[in-house]
Amino acid sequence: MRSLLIGLMLVGSMLVAAACAAPMAVTRIAVDAPESSVISPKRQAELTMMVKHDCGSCHGLTLKGGLGKPLLRERMAALPTETLSALILGGVPGTAMPPWLGIVTPEEARWIAAGLRQGAFE
**Residues interacting with ligand HEC, by CB under 6 A?**
51, 54-55, 57-59, 67-69, 71, 75, 84, 87-88, 92, 95-98, 100, 112
Least distance (Å) between residue 58 CB and ligand HEC: 3
End-to-end Cα separation, the chain, in angstroms: 49
The one-letter amino acid code at 69 reads K
Q: Which is nearer to ligand HEC, 43 or 75 (CB)?
A: 75
Q: How many residues does the chain have?
A: 122
14 versus 32: smaller Cβ distance to ligand HEC: 32
User: Residue 88 and residue 100: Cα distance in Å, rounded?
Assistant: 6
